[in-house]
Structure 1
Amino acid sequence: MNKKMQLLSRRNFVSGIGATALAAPSIVNAQALDGVTRNVAAFRPHQWQDHFETIGKGILLADTGSRFLQHWTADGEMRTYPTSVPLSEDLTRLGYTEVIDKKVAPGWGPTPSMLERNPDWPAYIQGGDPRNPLGSHALYLSWQYYRIHGTQDTRKIGRKSSNGCIGLFNEQIEEVFGRTPIGTQVKLL
């Protein structure tokens, strides 16, 4: 088959898939009936008004189920970011908090419970060290030990992989960091 015929065949195939998806959207969005979970995006955007009375200085809404962060600035602009979330429910803290501090190249030390689970971990890792799990920037929350931060390990994004924090790609936490003043409202759900 020549290149032109292959291209046409691919186009016909792709357009056929698109037509099927339009005609039967339940096929595209359906989970498997046989109990096997398919790779279907679980993200459904939230409205900030369903969670907060005012937008104030801004809002960070982290959905641990869909593994996405929605960020509204004080002027109402909203952006979304894929995240990593805590490994298990016992490491997950849900509810309302706020940003109380911001650091570029934050240092990191494991919490006492992390050291209990992983006694071989170092007591402290300097900011900028490629082993530092906080990545390039961190937003410190009013809950002790909880952060929204970057990560050096990009494989973690979109997965249950943290010890309680919400992680973003370094490039994206840098953007969120620059647009998030101290006092920004936060909710983890």
Structure 2
Amino acid sequence: MSRDTTRRSLLLGAGTLVAGLAAPGLLRAQETPSRNVSGFVTHDWRDHFETLGAGAIVADTTSTSLHYWSADGSDYRVFPTSVPASDELTRRGYTEVVEKKVAPSWTPTPSMRERFPEWPAVVPGGDPRNPLGACALYLSWQYYRIHGTHDTRKIGRSSSDGCVGLYNEHITQLFDLVPVGTQVRII
């Protein structure tokens, strides 16, 4: 942790303490979401799903993070993500993992081909130009994926054309954990 980060954390902590002493009831009513040690907003799966089923994923487009819970609830992980670059490209709601692919090929959507006619019709898996990275979780929504990326500058930013991207090492971890049928919510 950098000196600036430590100083900022101490100052923010002190401000919260003072505010809490001044108006404890007010602080509880206006609390910000809790954050874990990595600085990500934490979520409780029960706020999004009735049961864990085969497992659960919440992709939070505001905090650019993906939250995963195993079917028995014993494994909770948070990964930094890229998210769609605009609200027009963002799909929110409930879906599920319907297919998993290692080194998937990538086909630009019709709207992408319209905007960028020079793009190839298909980019094979393993090609550095392939934006799906090492592997992908295909969702029940057409053209929507949770996938890796070779362009690590995108992680933590709104920069994709609609999908949720993770570092390749993180999508590989998630890929091994997530069965087909895992429920997903994009918020």
TM-score by shorter chain over 0.5: yes
2:125 to 112, 124, 127: 127
> 1:115/1:50 Cα in 2 relative to 1: closer, same or farther (>3 Å)?
same
For 2:141 and 2:56, how far apart are their aligned partners in 1? 16
Question: Among the aligned pairs, what percent are the same residue?
Answer: 59
> Structure 1: 5+ residue runs without aligned partners?
1-10, 28-40
1:75 aligned partner: 72
Specify whether residues 14 and 82 from structure 1 end up closer, same or farther in structure 2 by C-alpha distance, changes over 3 A only: closer
- What letter corresponds to residue 97 of structure 1 in structure 2? T
Aligned partner of 1:7 in structure 2 is none
Is 1:42–1:66's contact at 8 Å kept on the other side of the alignment? no
Distance 2:185 2:9 in 1: 37
Residue identity opposite 1:71 in structure 2: Y
Pairwise CA RMSD of aligned residues? Answer: 2.3
Report the TM-score, using the length of structure 2 for normalisation: 0.82
Partner of 1:162: 160
Residues of 1 paired with 2:128 and 2:63: CA distance? 28
Query: In the alignment, does 2:45 pair up with 1:48?
Result: yes
**Aligned residue in 2 for 1:23:** 14
Give 1:65 shift.
Answer: 0.9
Task: After superposing the two structures, state which structure 1 stretch, 177-186 or 110-119, moved more.
Answer: 110-119
Alpha-carbon distance, 1:120 to partner: 1.1
User: What residue in structure 2 maps to residue 57 of structure 1?
Assistant: 54
* Counterpart secondary structure, 2:127: coil
Q: Where does residue 113 of structure 2 map in the other structure?
A: 115
Instruction: Quote the Cα distance in structure 1 between the aligned partners of 2:133 and 2:88.
Output: 24
| AA aligned opposite 1:24 | G
TM-score, normalised relative to structure 1: 0.81
> Residue 177 of structure 2: which of 170, 176, 179 is its match?
179
Deviation by residue 1:22-71 (Cα, 9 ceiling, x = unmatched): 433489xxxxxxxxxxxxx9842111101100001100100011100000
- CA distance in 2 between counterparts of 1:132 and 1:118 reads 15
Letter in 2 for 1:87: A
Residue 105 in 1 paired to residue 96 in 2? no
- Which is worse superposed, 16-25 or 134-143? 16-25
Which amino acid in 1 is paired with 2:132?
A: L
Specify every segment of 5 or more residues in structure 2 that has no aligned partner in the other structure, as ranges: 19-37
Cα separation, 1, equivalents of 2:83 and 2:6: 36
Counterpart Cα distance in 2 of 1:14 and 1:70: 24
Of the structure 1 ranges 142-151 and 42-51, higher mean CA displacement relative to structure 2 is found in 42-51
Between 179-188 and 74-83, the greater mean CA deviation after superposition: 74-83
- The structure-2 alpha-carbon separation of the partners of 1:161 and 1:21, relative to structure 1 and needing over 3 Å to count, comes to closer
Q: How many residues align?
A: 165
Which structure has the greater CA radius of gyration? Answer: 1
User: Following superposition of structure 1 onto structure 2, how do residues 138-149 of structure 1 map, counting pairs within 5 Å?
Assistant: 138-149=136-147
Residue identity opposite 1:83 in structure 2: T
Amino acid at match of 1:52: F
